[in-house]
Amino acid sequence: MGHKFAEIAFTEQVKKIQAEQGSRTNYAQMEQGPDFNNLLSQREVSFIQARDSFYMASVSETNWPYVQHRGGPQGFLRIIDATTIGFADFTGNRQYVSAGNFKKNDRVSLILMDYPNRTRLKILGRIIPVASDDLDTLAQLEDPNYRAKIERAFIIKIAAFDWNCPKYITPRYDEKAIEDMIAPIISENKTLKSAKKQKKELPKVIGNGELELIVTGIRQLTPRIRAYELRSYSGGDLPVINAGAHLEIPVLLAGNKFEKRHYSICSNPNRRDIYEIAVLQEIDGMGGSVAIHEQVALGQNLKCSMPQNHFELPHDDNPVILIAGGIGITAIKSMAQELQSKGKKFTIHYAGRSRKEMAFVDRLQREFTDKLSIYPKDENKRLDLTNIINSAANNATFYLCGPEKLLTDFKQLAQQNGIATNRIHFERFNKVHNKDDQPIKVTLAKSNKTLTVTSEQSILEAMIEADINIPYSCQTGSCKTCQVKVLNGIPEHLDLVLSEKEKTEEKLFCPCVSRAKSANITLDI
């Protein structure tokens, strides 16, 4: 027997109903192979320690179940060891129903809820009252900073536990969670009030592109990520897009300097009435995300370029594996929705620092329960790229969006495992910058200019500063728009799109991200 929870909960009658309802095959797999669902891992420990209440069921002498709520300070349900938990029982209404039931039947069932993240943990065990003279155990369970009177204490020996699916759990938030979520808005409000006092007017229209949009909704997804709902300024339908498309959002930086920042359109691509983008505020970034958080308000008019797409899904029926790191979920979310609407096979792997910092995690769990795997770092859940590659079908296509390390690690593993490059598609959400980059000399043959590119610049940025007329778009090495031929020097290719033939035979080069291994490089522009 494998899964301990299944061993206890799946009686013959339960199995019979599972078979009648068509779920028996899936649950039968829980009962196979080695399992440790009676031993708490770090994931369960962290979850239990974060709770300030739970529901507890006992069974009476008349065989009636009785469910009671238990509450206390966060972490009052203590971890004793990998198979044992305990709690101090505070004075309540003095009915003592649970305490009486445990005198005759020591079986207990707990449900622990995390409403904001729509997560629940079920625990089955045997409960033991702590003797009044067992001072060591009592000391482990009490909280000297909590004033409620302790009447008794219990130890629970865990028989099994199981994580439940998030379906039908309504998110609810306590005061602290709400305070954390609105803190950025309050901070921004103070900034705007201060700016108003100093008579600094924010522009009513930003940008000069041909697509005129208006901000009709703003949502705080996480403490640092804000979603912006954009509609046509004229009220009509928006241009048709496919998943993976992005918008160039105009931003006003310090010194009234206009620049453009690229953001994936993360709304369902089947919608024609709105586009939605999600912006992670990066205080130590290049200023664009901070400007958007500070400047873009309800009713703001944005004149953007038309949507572009350098990250389109395949048109075949091969399975697709979607991998997102952090804010990279913005591109991956719409892809999952498009694949789902077309009935195609896909899975999603989503990694982040913590659930509370992972945008759309509740929405994704509702829509893609059986297709989604999430990896919050603070729960010690690791995105295992090797396992994902080894478990993939031979004809699977991979789409990744995330930090540079994620993309680099995957490229190396894919190469080691012989995965063809045409099966791998990347999108960056940041410009490439390596702290070890050295200044380089770039000669522009047709322009008759030589530029010194600093370690903090891309070659493209230096060319733009020198008023070189070069087309560009993504600035992340994902689109080929700025490609140019190398005439001399040794290039260091850091783009995500050029083929080996284009790099070696055609000598093409993407100056938005790529640099040079030689001290000098000459470009045909």
CATH of the domain at 139: 2.30.110.10
- 192 by DSSP, 3-state: which? helix
pLDDT at res. 297:
87
State mean pLDDT over 252-271: 84
Let me know if residue 237 belongs to a domain: yes
pLDDT at res. 291:
84
- Beta-carbon contacts of residue 442 (< 8 Å; ≥ 6 apart): 450, 451, 452, 453, 459, 462, 463, 516, 520, 521, 522, 523
Confidence at 34, pLDDT banded by 50, 70, 90: low
Which of 22-36, 330-344, 367-381 reaches the highest mean pLDDT?
Answer: 330-344
Domain of 467: which CATH number? 3.10.20.30
Same domain, 292 and 179: yes
Q: Which two tokens stand for residue 21?
A: 């309802």
Please tell me which residue, 284 or 308, carries the higher pLDDT value: 308
Let me know if residue 315 belongs to a domain: no
Inter-residue contact 124 to 157 (CB < 8 Å): no
Nearest to 228 by CA among 301, 170, 174, 156: 301
Let me know if residue 4 belongs to a domain: no
Same domain, 411 and 450: no
pLDDT at res. 26:
74
pLDDT tops 90 at residue 321: yes
Please tell me which residue, 256 or 509, carries the higher pLDDT value: 509
Domain's final residue, options 114, 136, 164? 164
Let me know if residue 384 belongs to a domain: yes
Confidence at 157, pLDDT banded by 50, 70, 90: very high
Between the alpha carbon of residue 21 and those of residues 14, 50, 150, 267, the distances in Å are 11, 36, 46, 35
Which of 36-50, 66-80, 135-149 reaches the highest mean pLDDT?
Answer: 66-80
Same domain, 416 and 455: no
pLDDT tops 60 at residue 200: no
- Beta-carbon contacts of residue 253 (< 8 Å; ≥ 6 apart): 259, 287, 288, 291
Domain of 343: which CATH number? 3.40.50.80
Confidence at 456, pLDDT banded by 50, 70, 90: confident
What percent of the chain has a predicted confidence (pLDDT) above 90? 49
Outline where DSSP puts E strands in 204-341: 205-207, 211-220, 225-232, 246-253, 257-264, 275-280, 301-304, 320-325
pLDDT at res. 436:
67
Q: Give CA–CA dist 369/352, Å, rounded.
A: 18
pLDDT tops 60 at residue 198: no
pLDDT tops 50 at residue 356: yes
Window from 205-209, 232-236, 486-490 with minimum mean pLDDT: 205-209
Same domain, 146 and 52: yes
Same domain, 287 and 375: no
Q: Give CA–CA dist 442/447, Å, rounded.
A: 11
pLDDT at res. 435:
59
Same domain, 208 and 273: yes
Let me know if residue 128 belongs to a domain: yes
Neighbours of 299 (CB within 10 A): 8
pLDDT tops 80 at residue 93: no
Inter-residue contact 167 to 120 (CB < 8 Å): no
Which of 8-22, 50-64, 239-253, 495-509 reaches the highest mean pLDDT?
Answer: 50-64
Please identify which residue in the block is written with the tokens 């593993």.
Answer: 413
pLDDT at res. 195:
63
Same domain, 282 and 202: yes
pLDDT at res. 255:
67
Confidence at 430, pLDDT banded by 50, 70, 90: low
pLDDT at res. 171:
87
Q: Give CA–CA dist 490/506, Å, rounded.
A: 14
- Beta-carbon contacts of residue 461 (< 8 Å; ≥ 6 apart): none
Same domain, 403 and 454: no
User: What is the tally of structural domains in the chain?
Assistant: 4
pLDDT at res. 460:
87
Same domain, 159 and 66: yes
Confidence at 33, pLDDT banded by 50, 70, 90: low
Same domain, 377 and 276: no
State mean pLDDT over 307-329: 93
Domain's final residue, options 365, 395, 424? 424
Which of 202-216, 274-288, 377-391 reaches the highest mean pLDDT?
Answer: 377-391
State mean pLDDT over 370-397: 92
Reported as a single tens digit per residue, the pLDDT across 285-303 is 667 888 888 888 899 899 9
Same domain, 186 and 290: yes
pLDDT tops 50 at residue 17: yes
pLDDT tops 80 at residue 479: no
Confidence at 331, pLDDT banded by 50, 70, 90: very high
pLDDT tops 60 at residue 199: no
Let me know if residue 5 belongs to a domain: no
Let me know if residue 267 belongs to a domain: yes
Domain's final residue, options 424, 453, 476? 424
Same domain, 283 and 335: no
State mean pLDDT over 92-108: 90
Inter-residue contact 398 to 423 (CB < 8 Å): yes
Please tell me which residue, 30 or 295, carries the higher pLDDT value: 295
Let me know if residue 23 belongs to a domain: no
Window from 10-14, 204-208, 388-392, 518-522 with minimum mean pLDDT: 204-208
Domain of 240: which CATH number? 2.40.30.10
pLDDT at res. 1:
45
Please tell me which residue, 468 or 474, carries the higher pLDDT value: 468
Range of the domain at 285: 175-304
State mean pLDDT over 408-435: 82
What percent of the chain has a predicted confidence (pLDDT) above 70? 94
pLDDT at res. 197:
59
